[in-house]
Each structure stands twice: as C-alpha cells, then as structure tokens.
Amino acid sequence: MTNKLALSSALALTVTTLAALAASGSARANVPVGDPSNVQLRDLCDSTRAVCEYTGPNAPVLDAAVCLDGMGTVRLQTTGGCPLGSVAFHARYGEVYDPGQNLVVAYIPLANACSQAGLCETAEITPGASAMPICCWGAICWPGSDCDGTLFWCHDGVCNEDGTVTCFDGQEVFD
C-alpha cells in the first residue's frame, strides 16, 4: 500500500510539473528524432521514477527520445516532436509494448541480488517464488523499492512471515 501511495504522489507531482510547463508554453518539445547522442535530453527514469518499472539487470535497451504526458503515458517521440502538454526525455532502457500507439514501458535495471555475497540462498527452483525488486540493508531484505537501503532484483524470492524476503539462487533440477 505504501508503494501505491508513493507512486500516486510521484505521479501527481509529475502531472503538476507538466501542467506548469504547459502553462508556461515550454511543454512542447520539438526535439529531432534520430541519434540520441545529438540531443541532450534528461533521462526519463532518473527524472520521474514513478513512470518506470524496476527490472532485472538484462533490461532491453531502448535508447530513444520519448514523450511523457500529464497522465504518465510514455510514447516514442515522432518526427513532429512531443505533443502540447508533453515533455521530451531520453529512455535508456525499455520497450515498445503497443507499436500502433508508440506506447513505451521504461525500465530501471537493478543488479541481481545473487551477485552480492550473502544475499541469496542456494536452492532448487522454489514453488511460489516470484521476481521482484528488493531493498536490502546488509543481508536483510524487504520487498519493494521504496527504501533508504540498496535496491536489487531478486529473480526467485519469497516473502517471510516477518516481512523480509529470502532470495534464492535457484538451480533447476532435471530428471
């Protein structure tokens, strides 16, 4: 519930910022499409984390100019630039999930928790385990991404009764 509240607050701040930019007339960004190295755009996920999803270390590279509108929708920037009320950003990681509407999901790749000594237990593939971002302080980790510790990606984790997460370095067993 805390993550949903934080996401809602961050999205409201983004919408407020976009509304202020639109009112000032600077919300329309006509940034040339093409090689992103020619244009200095702010990184979308560094600027507005609320519209990005955490994922594992092998996130797909998008490396494209995108437009963020006041509703939090991210689209590939077209040759006409961003529409009025949208702001141009650069998305390093992500993918187009609706090519017809140029809709993009942007990612924040996290390091694999099992690449850090002491964060994972070796086990067979664990039933009921799921992939998730985890926040760790030392060797104790909690589910979610709202924390003052270090964020990692757990490919195979389970929540414990005390609220912590056990992350497994799952080994698939073949018969």
Q: Supply the pLDDT for residue 36.
A: 46
Domain end residue (candidates: 91, 109, 127): 109
Q: Supply the pLDDT for residue 119.
A: 92
Q: Are residues 120 and 95 part of one domain?
A: no
Q: Supply the pLDDT for residue 65.
A: 97
Q: Are residues 117 and 103 part of one domain?
A: no
Domain end residue (candidates: 109, 133, 159): 109
Q: Are residues 24 and 73 part of one domain?
A: yes
- Both tokens of 20, joined, read 């202020």
Q: How many domains does the chain have?
A: 2
Q: Supply the pLDDT for residue 16.
A: 45
Q: Are residues 144 and 68 part of one domain?
A: no
Residue pair 83/22 in contact by the 8 Å Cβ criterion: no
Q: How far apart are CA 110 and CA 57, in angstroms?
A: 5
Q: Supply the pLDDT for residue 49.
A: 87
- Both tokens of 3, joined, read 């993550």
Q: How far apart are CA 92 and CA 83, in angstroms?
A: 21
Beta strand segments in the chain, E: 52-55, 61-68, 74-76, 87-98, 103-109, 120-124, 130-137, 140-143, 150-159, 165-171
- Both tokens of 152, joined, read 């990692």
Q: Are residues 83 and 13 part of one domain?
A: yes
Residue-range definition of the domain harbouring residue 166: 113-171
Per-residue pLDDT of the chain (175 residues; tens, 9 = 90+): 434 434 344 444 444 444 444 444 444 444 444 554 445 899 999 999 899 999 999 999 999 999 999 999 999 999 989 999 999 999 999 999 999 999 999 999 999 999 999 999 887 766 778 899 999 998 899 999 988 899 999 988 999 999 999 998 865 433 3
Q: Supply the pLDDT for residue 40.
A: 87
Q: Are residues 80 and 122 part of one domain?
A: no
Question: C-alpha angle with apex 132: 97 to 109, nearest 5 degrees?
Answer: 60
Q: Supply the pLDDT for residue 147.
A: 87
Q: Are residues 21 and 82 part of one domain?
A: yes
Residue 132: CA atoms inside 13 Å, Cβ hemisphere, count?
A: 21
Q: How far apart are CA 24 and CA 85, in angstroms?
A: 10
Q: Supply the pLDDT for residue 122.
A: 84
The phi-psi region of residue 147 (left if phi > 0; otherwise alpha if psi is between -120 and 50; otherwise beta) is beta
What 3-state class would DSSP assign to 7?
Answer: helix
